[in-house]
């Protein structure tokens, strides 16, 4: 790079640093600014001559993360310093001790939480899941670790264009699966919305682009409508002397897409594509009354939908969010969501936990958000859970819908929608949950699996003789309950496994086989066990017979172990249980020809974007990028993902499901089947149509050659009078084998 370009880059770095200083909170002292400058200088030196994938100097990244922390989350000096230094320990010769000596123990602890794990011994555990778990271990000590990590992830998503498509899919999937829900749970709505939109942009680019174009096309008319809608409200607020301002905001691209899927509607049929937000400048003592007064003014002009009133002022959300939400019928018959909140509530909604903490009084009781952090800390205390199980349990804590139930003493407890009476028992105390014998809801005895509703009064009946049962895992939904039940069952399992190990040693000794680490691995693979604990538990519970042990020894002596190694670690081929499809699909950059099976959850067909997934039991499974399970697989098991592509366009048949709905009429099914079978000569494998009050919904499974041919079929079907919509469907099978 020539000297002029280097000089230009240096100026840009200094400009970004000055912008960061201007974004610091107003209370930042000169002493604090000197510390920030010191951290900036160290970061520049540590990342000297290092560049990002985009080609820009690496220092741009920590500066951007620090900027997000300061301006978009509202964090202070320690967080800004930590953000500037968050990659220094990992990417340079500086150590945590150096950071501690220069900036203190708090900064060192935060950076330790942000530093990635360099080595994970269990090869079946996702490195990303283990990193995420390590980061959360610092959560109860310092929430800033999570907030800085979210800022780091947001900037990575903003600059994801420079990555390969495989990397884009992996990082975007992790973002949608974990980081966006986490941002929501911490009340960072602005970050959450952007993370979701960017996640969709890289996992479903065509969908993102289509909705984005439509939103831009309607922007002008939308703004005109918001101004017209707001005008009479503004006039009354001004006349009443209420200091406030009104702004409109469009629904996010991600939430529009979710509505299209969940409601089964098109973009044009979504009526609340935007919301109007009214923010009142009011003191803490008057803000509640002022919000209700504004609600009254709004409903004087527009008729409210009584089912869409949400009072999160009297009962804030667990993440600290407070506001009044209502949906009213505006001009031209359009539904408009109106959000009413004070300036304080708005800052908490925009900046989440950081703002919540700033407004919290010292003598104030712990909020539900603090209780949630405490619950995560309890979840992290279980040393036996592996990273993937932990992530699954953690996801359960990121619930969006809540219910509010009461103890016999009148204490309010918040639980996720769908929570059972047993979930409530564990919410009170681990011991009460473990010893729960029965439950009374509103004075009536109910089953432990009884699903609670908001307003229920719940009383728990306990017995010292009771202990957690495996069956309980079927109907608890909170991660706390699941974690404690699993932990109790594991203790019992360990006792049986210890007995099983002694039994296995005795039986194998008689067959002249000594148990060591290699034998243990072989036994686990042979008996399809995920761990040595599972293996010895099966010995201890009598599930493994003497004849099966003899079969293992026989195969071991004939070189079985090498065969199973090839199967699991996959250098050559797998033996599929279905017919081999030749070299229709090739894998990785070298176009490797490997045996595979088509995943039943999505049934990809030639023309679909696809990837290979290396399952332990069934070899390579080929999934469509559109598969409902793809986000979870890429987020948790990216190390098992293989690049895959179609190579041939032969007339091989593949199964594809289409969903079809519209206005019911006599002979409609006849016309549909005639086009499919007689005109297009397609084999219908299954058809299921249900009609109700003149409307019909149907699902048809077809055998087709490729995506283009399927599109030809659906375009012909769309021409039938009465058919409203046709779409490709995929099964969401949570029991996929990994």
Say if residue 26 is in the same domain as residue 47.
yes
Say if residue 601 is in the same domain as residue 529.
no
Say if residue 498 is in the same domain as residue 643.
no
- What's the mean pLDDT when you consider all of the chain? 82
pLDDT for residue 495:
86
d(C-alpha 676, C-alpha 685), whole Å = 11
pLDDT for residue 296:
95
From residue 522, how far is each of 15, 300, 582 by CA, in Å?
A: 60, 74, 31
For the domain that residue 632 is a member of, what is the CATH number?
Answer: 3.30.70.260
SS3 percent helix, strand, coil of the chain, rounded to 5, is: 50, 15, 30
Stretch 274-295: mean pLDDT, rounded?
93
Stretch 60-81: mean pLDDT, rounded?
92
Say if residue 28 is in the same domain as residue 83.
yes
Say if residue 617 is in the same domain as residue 555.
no
Q: What is the pLDDT of residues 492-548, one digit of tens each?
A: 888 888 988 988 888 888 888 888 888 888 888 888 887 888 888 888 878 888 888
Residue 387 in any domain: the answer is no
Active-site pick, 7, 48, 90, 366: 90
Residue 460 in any domain: the answer is no
Task: Name the nearest CA neighbour of 521 among 535, 502, 511.
Answer: 535
- Domain extent, residue 664, equals 570-738
d(C-alpha 348, C-alpha 73), whole Å = 10
Residue 472 in any domain: the answer is no
Residue 149 pLDDT > 60, yes or no? yes
Structure tokens at 438: 């029965």
Residue 411 pLDDT > 70, yes or no? yes
Say if residue 222 is in the same domain as residue 315.
yes
pLDDT for residue 394:
61
Residue 654, class by beta-carbon neighbours within 10 Å (0-12 exposed, 13-18 middle, 19+ buried)?
Answer: buried
Say if residue 561 is in the same domain as residue 651.
no
Q: Which of 343, 359, 375 marks a domain boundary?
A: 359
- As for how many domains the chain has, the answer is 4
pLDDT for residue 66:
96
Residue 306 in any domain: the answer is yes
Q: How confident is the model at residue 734 (pLDDT cuts 50, 70, 90)?
A: low
Question: To which residue do tokens 């699966």 refer?
Answer: 177
From residue 546, how far is each of 489, 505, 508, 549 by CA, in Å?
A: 27, 13, 10, 5
Q: What is the pLDDT of residues 441-455, one digit of tens each?
A: 988 889 999 999 888
Stretch 631-645: mean pLDDT, rounded?
84
Mean pLDDT is lowest, of 34-38, 194-198, 668-672, for 668-672
Residue 219 pLDDT > 90, yes or no? no
Q: Are 147 and 191 in contact (CB under 8 A)?
A: no
For the domain that residue 216 is a member of, what is the CATH number?
Answer: 3.30.460.10
Selection from 203-212, 309-318, 681-690, 711-720 with the highest mean pLDDT: 203-212
Query: E strands within 293-356?
Result: 303-304, 310-311, 324-329, 335-342
Q: What is the pLDDT of residues 102-134, one digit of tens each?
A: 999 999 988 888 875 443 334 444 555 666 666
pLDDT for residue 321:
83
pLDDT for residue 120:
37
Task: Name the nearest CA neighbour of 55 among 103, 120, 110, 9.
Answer: 9
Residue 62 pLDDT > 80, yes or no? yes
Active-site pick, 48, 91, 331, 548: 91
Say if residue 169 is in the same domain as residue 284.
no
For the domain that residue 137 is a member of, what is the CATH number?
Answer: 1.10.3210.10
pLDDT for residue 420:
94
Catalytic site residue 91?
Answer: yes
Residue 383 pLDDT > 80, yes or no? no
Stretch 192-203: mean pLDDT, rounded?
94
Residue 69 in any domain: the answer is yes
Say if residue 353 is in the same domain as residue 322.
yes
Residue 652 pLDDT > 50, yes or no? yes
Q: How confident is the model at residue 635 (pLDDT cuts 50, 70, 90)?
A: confident
Residue 384 pLDDT > 60, yes or no? no
Task: Name the nearest CA neighbour of 116 among 133, 99, 131, 138.
Answer: 131
Q: Which of 179, 203, 227 marks a domain boundary?
A: 203
- Number of C-beta neighbours around residue 383 at 10 A: 6
Say if residue 104 is in the same domain as residue 145.
yes
pLDDT for residue 570:
45
Residue 290 in any domain: the answer is yes
Catalytic site residue 258?
Answer: no
Could you give the percent of the chain with pLDDT greater than 70? 84
Residue 397 in any domain: the answer is no
Question: To which residue do tokens 């070299």 refer?
Answer: 583
Say if residue 707 is in the same domain as residue 668.
yes
d(C-alpha 516, C-alpha 372), whole Å = 43
Residue 103 in any domain: the answer is yes
Residue 738 pLDDT > 70, yes or no? no
pLDDT for residue 685:
85
Residue 579 pLDDT > 50, yes or no? no
Q: Are 140 and 373 in contact (CB under 8 A)?
A: yes
Mean pLDDT is lowest, of 49-53, 210-214, 692-696, 718-722, for 692-696
pLDDT for residue 294:
96
Selection from 293-297, 368-372, 665-669 with the highest mean pLDDT: 293-297
d(C-alpha 64, C-alpha 70), whole Å = 10
Mean pLDDT is lowest, of 35-44, 257-266, 344-353, 650-659, for 650-659
This prediction has a pTM of 0.66
Sign of CA dihedral 7, 13, 15, 18: negative
pLDDT for residue 680:
78
Q: Which of 533, 553, 569 marks a domain boundary?
A: 569
Structure tokens at 77: 């000096």
- Tell me if residue 622 falls in helix, strand or coil: strand
pLDDT for residue 100:
94
Say if residue 23 is in the same domain as residue 142.
yes
């Amino acid at each position: 790079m020539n000297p002029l370009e280097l000089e230009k880059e240096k100026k840009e770095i200094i400009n970004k640093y000055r912008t960061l200083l201007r974004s610091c909170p107003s209370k930042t002292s000169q002493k604090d600014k000197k510390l920030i400058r010191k951290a900036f200088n160290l970061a520049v030196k540590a990342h000297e001559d290092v560049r990002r994938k985009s080609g820009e100097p690496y220092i741009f990244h920590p500066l951007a993360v620090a900027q997000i922390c300061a301006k978009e989350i509202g964090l202070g000096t320690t967080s800004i310093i930590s953000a500037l230094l968050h990659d220094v320990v990992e990417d340079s010769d500086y150590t945590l001790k150096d950071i501690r000596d220069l900036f203190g123990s708090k900064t060192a602890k935060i950076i330790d939480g942000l530093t990635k794990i360099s080595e994970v011994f269990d090869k079946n555990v996702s490195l990303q899941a283990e990193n995420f778990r390590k980061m959360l271990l610092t959560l109860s000590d310092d929430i800033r670790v999570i907030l800085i990590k979210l800022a780091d992830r947001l900037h990575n998503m903003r600059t994801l264009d420079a990555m390969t498509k495989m990397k884009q899919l992996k990082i975007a999937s992790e973002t949608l699966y974990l980081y966006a829900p986490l941002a929501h749970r911490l009340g960072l709505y602005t970050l959450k919305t952007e993370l979701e939109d960017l996640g969709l942009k890289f996992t479903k680019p065509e969908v993102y682009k289509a909705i984005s174009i439509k939103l831009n096309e309607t922007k002008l008319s939308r703004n005109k409508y918001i101004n017209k809608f707001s005008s009479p409200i503004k006039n009354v607020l001004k006349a009443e002397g209420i200091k406030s301002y009104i702004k409109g905001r469009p629904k996010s691209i991600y939430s529009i897409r979710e509505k299209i899927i969940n409601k089964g509607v098109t973009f044009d049929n979504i009526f609340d594509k935007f919301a109007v937000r009214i923010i009142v400048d009011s003191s803490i003592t008057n803000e509640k009354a002022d919000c209700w007064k504004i609600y009254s003014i709004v409903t004087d002009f527009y008729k409210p939908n009584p089912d869409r009133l949400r009072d999160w002022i009297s009962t804030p959300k667990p993440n600290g969010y407070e506001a009044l939400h209502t949906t009213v019928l505006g001009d031209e018959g359009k539904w408009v969501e109106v959000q009413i909140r004070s300036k304080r509530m708005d800052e908490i909604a925009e900046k989440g936990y950081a703002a919540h903490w700033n407004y919290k009084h010292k003598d104030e009781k712990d909020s539900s958000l603090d209780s949630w952090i405490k619950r995560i800390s309890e979840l992290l205390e279980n040393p036996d859970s592996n990273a993937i199980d932990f992530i699954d349990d953690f996801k359960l804590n990121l619930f969006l819908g809540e219910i509010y139930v009461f103890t016999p003493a009148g204490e309010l407890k918040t639980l996720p929608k769908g929570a059972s009476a047993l979930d409530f028992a564990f919410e009170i105390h681990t011991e009460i949950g473990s010893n729960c014998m029965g439950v009374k809801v509103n004075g009536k005895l109910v089953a432990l699996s009884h699903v609670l509703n908001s307003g229920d009064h719940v009383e728990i009946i306990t017995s010292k003789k009771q202990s957690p049962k495996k069956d309980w895992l079927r109907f608890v939904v909170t991660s706390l309950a699941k974690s404690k039940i699993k932990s109790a069952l594991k203790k019992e399992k360990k006792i049986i496994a210890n007995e099983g190990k002694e039994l296995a040693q005795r039986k194998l000794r008689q067959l002249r086989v000594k148990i060591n680490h290699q034998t243990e691995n072989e036994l686990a693979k042979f008996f399809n066990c995920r761990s040595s604990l599972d293996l010895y538990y099966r010995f201890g519970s009598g599930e493994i017979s003497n004849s099966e042990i003899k079969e293992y020894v026989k195969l071991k002596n004939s070189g079985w172990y090498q065969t199973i190694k090839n199967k699991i670690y996959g250098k050559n081929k797998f033996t599929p249980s279905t017919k081999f499809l030749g070299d229709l699909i090739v894998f990785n950059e070298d176009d490797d020809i490997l045996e595979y099976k088509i995943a039943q959850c999505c049934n990809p067909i030639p023309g679909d974007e696809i990837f290979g997934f290396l399952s332990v039991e069934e070899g390579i499974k080929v999934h469509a990028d559109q598969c409902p399970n793809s986000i979870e697989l890429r987020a948790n098991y990216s190390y098992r993902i293989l690049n895959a592509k179609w190579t041939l366009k032969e007339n091989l048949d593949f199964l594809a499901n289409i969903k079809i709905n519209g206005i019911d009429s006599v002979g409609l099914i006849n016309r549909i089947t005639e086009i499919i079978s007689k005109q297009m000569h397609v084999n219908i494998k299954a058809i299921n149509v249900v009609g109700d009050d003149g409307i019909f919904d149907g699902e048809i499974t077809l055998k087709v050659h490729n995506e283009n041919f399927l599109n030809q079929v659906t375009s012909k079907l769309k021409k039938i009078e009465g058919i409203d919509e046709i779409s490709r469907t995929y099964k969401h099978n949570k029991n996929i084998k990994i």
